[in-house]
Every structure is written in C-alpha cells, then in structure tokens.
Amino acid sequence: MAVKIRLQRQGAKKNPQYLVVATDTNKPRDGEYLDNLGHYYPKAKDNKDKLKVDVAAVQAWQAKGAQVTKTVGQLLKNLAK
C-alpha cells in the first residue's frame, strides 16, 4: 500500500478549504483517508491562519514511507520559514 500526504478539497464553490491528509494512492482525492494531519485555508487573510499542520504527525508518516505531494511539500516548506 503506497501512502501519500496530499490535500483533500472541501468547502463551497469559490471558497476552497483543504484538509492535509495521509491517504492510500488508490483512493480518490476526496475519498476516505488514513489520518487527518491539518488544514489549509488559501483565502485566509492572515498568513498564520492559512496553514495549520501537525508537523510531528507528518514526520511520523514520512518515517513510515509516506510520500509528500509537490503542493503539500511547498506548503510545508513555506511553513518552516
């Protein structure tokens, strides 16, 4: 079973909200997931409110072999700054 850490879209039309989740690669984008790792609100006005992620949980999943998608990797990189 290959696991990826990726975004799962939620929210309304023109008001996107995303969950950062660990999920099996064979599941659909908005299907069931293994673990909820945080959330991302791209339209939030304050940068602190845009991304909230449990970094320890992300590192734990990466230690188990989970791959981070390009988009989530960029978000985590910006979070570390």
Question: Closest by alpha carbon to 55, among 81, 24, 19, 80?
Answer: 80
How many alpha carbons fall within 13 Å on the CB side of residue 24? Answer: 6
The one-letter code for the residue type at 37 is L
User: Phi and psi of 71, rounded to 5°?
Assistant: -65, -45
pLDDT of residue 47: 80
pTM: 0.90
pLDDT by residue (tens digit) across 5-20? 999 999 999 999 999 9
pLDDT reading at 81 higher than 80: no
Please give the domain boundaries of the chain with CATH numbers for all domains: 3-80 (3.30.1320.10)
| Residues 20-76 pLDDT 10s | 999 999 999 889 999 999 999 999 988 888 999 999 999 999 999 999 999 999 999
